[in-house]
Amino acid sequence: MGVVVNIDDGKRTSASIEDLIALTRQDMGRVNELILSKAGSDVTMIPEVANHLISSGGKRLRPMLTLAAAQMFGYEGDGHVKLATSVEFMHTATLLHDDVVDESDMRRGKRTARMIWGNQASVLVGDFLLGQAFRMMVDVGSLEALDILSAAASVIAEGEVLQLSVAKNLETTEDEYLSVIKAKTAALFSAAAEVGPVVADATKADRAALRSYGTNLGLAFQLIDDALDYAGDTSSLGKNVGDDFREGKVTLPVILSFRRGSEEEREFWKSAIEKDQTDDEQLEFALKLMKKHNSIADTIGRARHFGGIARDALAPLKDTPQKQALLDVIDFCISRVT
């Protein structure tokens, strides 16, 4: 290990989601309409809270995956629009609940819903969005898609609970951490990608390919997110370098630095993560240790490993603009920086 990977390496014109955005533009228009209508309620606090997060400028990558994955197999109905909206609602609900659990003040450069409307409203509006997501899935009428997305909902919740149990635990192994992000992040990417071929009545092999693509893309995405938190540029992240550190989150760069470190270095990590000693000076020292142990470069290396698996998952599928756009997403995720 210890290969120095320049985080800028993957930057080239194809490492963008422009093609994905173009291919799904029309369908995403319908998703956005559906989001607004299904987040609506006579209880005015519901659309207020929901729209605060929904309109906060997320990339809406997950619903685009669903749309492109359905288009790829020639789907012509409107079920994919509803499923894509369900996926985005599941994601939004998770974020609302996460911010409560993590006691976060800021997300995407804005105050979190819980800081404005309180924890209770955040939890309940999240529940409402989950309920609406299930109603839309039922409306599509595909038991298989329902099975995939409802299983994902359970797995995500399970992953969040698992994360509680590893929180602030510096002894967490890389395997254990991968289990957490596989559940917490990769499960929704996987379900989002798989319901495309499902609604389009594609083959079992096509479903497996998209499922595998989604899982591994999700793992790569999360690992790059972890790396960016220590290596990125604030303006493009919507969060500050070191946010994970200040919140005492045990992510892969921390796990690798802790495991590879000396006894003294491990004491530093304990005081930082377990005892919240995370001011700027300590962040600077953390970054120095990460550099010493190649922790960020190796985190990116691990992400590249999963990116490679995602790429091979799609390899046997017919060449379509959608397939190329989904492959670009892998490069985009990995080269995502400033």
Note the residues at the interface with a copy of itself (CB under 8 A).
1, 171, 173-176, 204-205, 208-209, 211-212, 215-216, 255-256, 258-261, 266, 298, 301-302, 305, 308-309, 311-313, 315-316
Angstrom distance (rounded) from CA 199 to CA 194:
9
Q: What are the residues facing 111 on neighbouring strands?
A: 106
Backbone angles phi and psi of 281, in degrees to 5: -65, -45
Cβ proximity to a copy of itself: between 133 and 254 the closer is 254
For tokens 């938190």, the residue is 229
Angstrom distance (rounded) from CA 5 to CA 262:
24
Cβ proximity to a copy of itself: between 2 and 118 the closer is 2
Q: What are the residues facing 106 on neighbouring strands?
A: 111
Cα distance from N-terminal residue to C-terminal residue, the chain: 26
Cβ proximity to a copy of itself: between 95 and 180 the closer is 180
Residue 206 CB-half CA count within 13 A: 18
Cβ proximity to a copy of itself: between 30 and 266 the closer is 266
Least Å from the CB of residue 128 to a copy of itself = 34
Cβ proximity to a copy of itself: between 2 and 141 the closer is 2
Least Å from the CB of residue 156 to a copy of itself = 18
One-letter amino acid identity for 57?
G
Cβ proximity to a copy of itself: between 173 and 271 the closer is 173
Angstrom distance (rounded) from CA 252 to CA 258:
10
Least Å from the CB of residue 170 to a copy of itself = 9
One-letter amino acid identity for 314?
L
Least Å from the CB of residue 160 to a copy of itself = 20
Least Å from the CB of residue 106 to a copy of itself = 32
Least Å from the CB of residue 237 to a copy of itself = 26
Angstrom distance (rounded) from CA 336 to CA 330:
10
Q: Token digits for 237?
A: 């992240």
